[in-house]
């Protein structure tokens, strides 16, 4: 029987992957408090269902930066999809397109930006880290525009890589046959070697990520591209207001899936203050701990325009390539429509804070 929950797909994925890769995917930073809290926050909300509403048609479609998503879900940017399946990002792109979901390809994609774009049939964004070598960034932006990417997403919660104890203990390094093919190999050398008590990921970031990045630098990126700009890693009202002041087009409320600052606010807890601080024309997305359609309904009710899922996409990819990612997205769609029907809120516009109450303790 096909898995009935994402947890079933997660269990199957664990059997497919080596312990080191499993730890890299699943792990968080420090004591993994934020990783756990991302999930726990969803359990703090109860639904307030309304009766006698016509729910014969439940429509989860939303508009996002000029595109329609049939499913208010995107696949979060993740490095190296080929770590978990030989087809890598092109399989993910095909599955996202079929499901009407967004794909955010990562700067450390293991397939070329052009191959990913050719496989994509839905909205496609490119994620960037701010590298010290700005000319490498500029070249990527130019390629992304030419290949038809619809937005640039800049990750702003990683001036350095979080202390991921599992990776440090495992001495995790990216296997030599898996490459960030869109970047000069010389830039990526450190990611393939783990020093004593370190990981290749941490070494690479120390060498290549620019920790001097500030709000003033966003103008440099704006000058190089007319694509909408999305900031990922906003957790406070203060930063949401600054993002709006700097003309950002959308933000992702995210703590990087608990992989960066351990002890940072759970993403769902930060969502209302960010939404309330943004002007209505700037949408907020949320990622971190979304594992079911009911979770998506909670996030939308708290004001997210859409959610991103990270690890679940890798579970699907590991277990079945394109079909596996499709299974994850189809499950999320079925569960979301089911929740909307039983909640008496048949469209996304009906999902607002009146749909929720604090879970009674
Ligand atoms: C294996 C893995 C690789 C990731 N790589 C990136 C990346 O390259 N850039 C980035 O902005 N976020 C990266 N993330 C974070 C995700 O974009 C996202 O914020 C997080 O996975 C959401 O939490 P979830 O996994 O609980 O859904 C990565 C996450 C994982 C699990
Ligand atoms: C080798 C480059 C660093 C990849 C970092 C990927 C990432 O953001 C993650 O959370 O892992």
Cβ atoms 190, 203 nearer than 8 A: yes
Residue 360: inside a domain: no
Quick one: pLDDT at residue 220? 97
Quick one: pLDDT at residue 315? 99
Q: Which domain holds residue 10?
A: 6-343
Name the DSSP letter for residue 247.
T
- Residue 79 Cα to ligand 2 midpoint, Å, equals 6
Residue 280: inside a domain: yes
Quick one: pLDDT at residue 194? 85
DSSP per-residue string spanning 61-109: -EEETTEEESSSEEEPP-S-GGGT-TTTHHHHHHHHHHHT-EEEE-TT-
- Residue 352 Cα to ligand 2 midpoint, Å, equals 34
CATH of the domain at 126: 3.20.20.70
**Structure tokens that stand for 229 in this block:** 């700009």
The alpha helices in the chain, defined as continuous H runs, are: 6-16, 19-26, 33-42, 89-99, 113-119, 134-147, 165-170, 185-188, 200-208, 218-224, 237-245, 267-277, 293-301, 311-343
Cβ atoms 251, 287 nearer than 8 A: no
Quick one: pLDDT at residue 335? 98
Residue 348: inside a domain: no
**Structure tokens that stand for 325 in this block:** 């990612």
Residue 355: inside a domain: no
- Which bound ligand lies closest to the C-alpha atom of 183? 2
**Structure tokens that stand for 215 in this block:** 């709000």
Residue 10: inside a domain: yes
Q: Residue 140 and residue 262: Cα distance in Å, rounded?
A: 30
- Angle at which helices 311-343 and 89-99 pack, to 10 degrees? 10
Q: What's the total number of domains in the chain?
A: 1
Helix (H, G, I), strand (E, B), or coil: what is residue 41?
helix
- Which bound ligand lies closest to the C-alpha atom of 187? 2
Residue 337: inside a domain: yes
Quick one: pLDDT at residue 253? 99
Cβ atoms 130, 210 nearer than 8 A: yes
Residue 357: inside a domain: no
For the question of residue 256 being annotated catalytic, the response is: yes
Ligand 1 atom nearest to CA at 311: 25
Quick one: pLDDT at residue 190? 85
Q: Which of 128, 137, 174, 156 is nearest to 256 (CA)?
A: 156
Look at the block and give the residue holding tokens 């569960």. Answer: 335
**Structure tokens that stand for 132 in this block:** 């010290």
* Ligand 1 pocket mutation pick from 35, 42, 254, 310 by most atoms within 8 angstroms of CB: 310
Q: What is the pTM of this model?
A: 0.98
Q: pLDDT in tens for each of the 361 residues of the chain? A: 888 999 999 999 999 999 999 999 999 999 999 999 999 999 999 999 999 999 999 999 999 999 999 999 999 999 999 999 999 999 999 999 999 999 999 999 999 999 999 999 999 999 999 999 999 999 999 999 999 999 999 999 999 999 999 999 999 999 999 999 999 998 888 888 887 788 999 889 889 999 999 999 999 999 999 999 999 999 999 999 999 999 999 999 999 999 999 999 999 999 999 999 999 999 999 999 999 999 999 999 999 999 999 999 999 999 999 999 999 999 999 999 999 999 999 999 999 999 999 999 8
| Residues whose beta carbon lies within 6 Å of some atom of ligand 2 | 79, 108, 191, 201, 204-205, 256, 259
Cβ atoms 247, 222 nearer than 8 A: yes
Quick one: pLDDT at residue 329? 98
* Ligand 2 pocket mutation pick from 108, 203, 287 by most atoms within 8 angstroms of CB: 108
Residue 350: inside a domain: no
Q: Residue 210 and residue 132: Cα distance in Å, rounded?
A: 5
ipTM for the predicted complex: 0.99
- Protein residue with least CA distance to atom 2, ligand 1: 78
Query: Which one of 81, 85, 204, 256 is the catalytic residue?
Result: 256
């Amino acid at each position: 029987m096909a898995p009935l929950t994402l947890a079933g797909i997660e269990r199957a994925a664990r059997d497919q992957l080596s312990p080191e890769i499993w730890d890299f995917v699943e792990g968080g930073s420090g004591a993994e408090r934020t990783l756990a809290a991302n999930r726990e926050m969803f359990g703090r909300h109860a639904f307030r269902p309304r009766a006698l509403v016509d729910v014969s048609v439940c429509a989860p479609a939303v508009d996002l930066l000029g595109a329609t998503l049939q499913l208010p879900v995107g696949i979060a940017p993740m490095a190296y999809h080929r770590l978990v399946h030989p087809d890598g990002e092109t399989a993910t792109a095909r599955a996202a397109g079929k499901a009407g979901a967004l794909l955010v390809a990562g700067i450390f994609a293991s397939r070329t930006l052009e191959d990913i774009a050719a496989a994509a049939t839905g909205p496609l964004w490119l994620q960037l880290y701010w590298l010290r070598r700005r000319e490498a960034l500029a070249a990527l932006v130019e390629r992304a525009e030419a290949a038809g990417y619809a937005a640039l997403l800049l990750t702003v919660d990683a001036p350095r890589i979080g202390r991921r104890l599992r990776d440090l203990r495992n001495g995790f390094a990216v296997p030599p046959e898996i490459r960030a093919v869109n970047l000069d190999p010389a830039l990526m050398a450190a990611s393939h070697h783990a020093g004593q008590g370190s990981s290749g990921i941490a070494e690479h970031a120390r060498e290549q990520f620019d920790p001097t990045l500030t709000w003033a630098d966003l103008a440099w990126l704006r000058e190089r591209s007319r694509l909408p700009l999305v900031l990922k890693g906003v957790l406070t009202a203060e930063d949401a207001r600054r993002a709006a002041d700097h003309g950002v087009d959308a933000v992702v409320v995210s703590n990087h899936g608990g992989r960066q600052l351990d002890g940072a606010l759970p993403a769902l807890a930060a969502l209302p203050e960010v939404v309330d601080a943004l002007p209505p024309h700037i949408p907020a997305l949320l990622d971190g701990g979304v594992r079911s359609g009911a979770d998506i309904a909670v996030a939308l009710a708290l004001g997210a325009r859409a959610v991103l899922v990270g690890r679940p996409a890798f579970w699907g990819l590991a277990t079945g390539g394109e079909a596996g990612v499709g299974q994850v997205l189809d499950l999320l769609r079925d569960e979301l429509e089911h929740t909307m029907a039983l909640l008496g809120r048949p469209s996304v516009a009906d999902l607002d804070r009146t749909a929720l109450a604090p879970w009674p303790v």
